[in-house]
Amino acid sequence: MGHRMRTAEFFYDLPDAAIAQTPVEPRHAARLLDTRDLTDHVFSEVPAMLDGGDLLVVNRTRVRAARLRGTKAESGGSVEVLLLSREEAIWETLIRPARRIRPGQHLAFPEGLQAVVHSAPVEGRCTIEFLDVDESQLESLIEGAGEVPLPPYIRTPLQDPGRYQTVYAGELGSAAAPTAGLHFSERVLEDLNRRGIGLAYVDLRVGLDTFRPISTDGIDDHHMHSERVTVPEATSAAVGATRRRGGRVVAVGTTVVRSLESAVDRDGRVRPFDGLTDLFIKPGYSFRAIDGVITNFHVPGSTLVVLVAAVLGDRWRLVYESALARGYRFLSFGDAMYAEVERG
């Protein structure tokens, strides 16, 4: 019987001072730790660290202005709703205060947005539906009424909301940014293109569970909520072509790792995919879609640290300790690392 991994094995001591409160300028000036030999770089060097014929895959989801502050129509009491995802007209949300929220209640927000509560909150989650609104106008009304939701550990107001979006962000749909992509600038994209390094896209609409610390004692008992993923045909073709010529497939961010690995068929090939994934990648996982990953430094005890440990093995702790000792900045607006899958 294998070792039962405890959540405590994926915690580390993260001082408040190491949590980046503001993004670095310019984007590509963030530091980058090459975990292969623990050397220090800056993000603008990424194109030089890869070879022509390699492929970077990025998540082009755009962060929605998903935090809505409003009132309960009946009582006038204030309420805050965070839009997580939607299926048809029904939105899954985090609501607070969750006390005294019940099905049938009406909520009022700026821009004239009205909603009705569908389900009673469970652990702060409930479903709502917007009322009397033209579907074609709903997203622009949400953009006008809401604000981009920064993680709770970022306490400094963001001067430019565009800095919590990637430069290649496309379709709206996430409650949080795919943060490894925040370091890319137009200059870095041009350098990649000039060196013959490919760029392909997936869309994973990031929910909050990705970032939430694991609350169970053992990681096998943690349940991942589903997130919607699209791996386009062009991306599956680009991954296949890269494989055939011996290039590396490098995922930009843990969301891309999960997207591509969710799209692998029985023969180990990445196929076009459009659906839900609740893939939880843990140590012992056999990677079939990716060769490397560029990622930030993550919240202690989160599923993201567990994924990094699946890539690096036991070295993950040395990497994190080295980054802390050298003053790297951690979490969403922090610095990044490059890691390659350790294959036996």
Domain span(s) for CATH 3.40.1780.10 in the chain: 7-63+159-340
Tell me the residue ranges of DSSP E strands in 278-327.
292-296
**What span, in angstroms and rounded, lies between the C-alpha atoms of 36 and 54?**
17
Residues in the chain predicted with pLDDT less than 50, given as ranges, are: 1
**What span, in angstroms and rounded, lies between the C-alpha atoms of 6 and 21?**
30
- Asked if 201 and 227 touch (Cβ cutoff 8 Å), the reply is no
Q: What is the pLDDT of residues 172-196, one digit of tens each?
A: 888 889 999 999 999 999 999 999 9
CATH 3.40.1780.10 at 7-63+159-340, yes or no: yes
**What span, in angstroms and rounded, lies between the C-alpha atoms of 330 and 17?**
9
Give the predicted TM-score (pTM) of the model: 0.93
Q: Is 336 helix (H, G, I), strand (E, B) or coil?
A: strand
For residue 29 the two structure tokens come to 């000036």
Establish whether the linkage from the previous residue to 178 is cis, with ω within 30° of 0. Answer: no
pLDDT (0 to 100) of residue 49: 97
pLDDT (0 to 100) of residue 1: 40
In terms of DSSP bridges, do strands 78-87 and 90-96 run parallel, antiparallel, or are they unpaired?
Answer: antiparallel
Domain span(s) for CATH 2.40.10.240 in the chain: 67-145
Give, as one character, the DSSP assignment of residue 124.
Answer: T
pLDDT (0 to 100) of residue 315: 96
The architecture (CATH level 2) of 67-145 comes to Beta Barrel (2.40)
Give, as one character, the DSSP assignment of residue 223.
Answer: -
pLDDT (0 to 100) of residue 343: 74
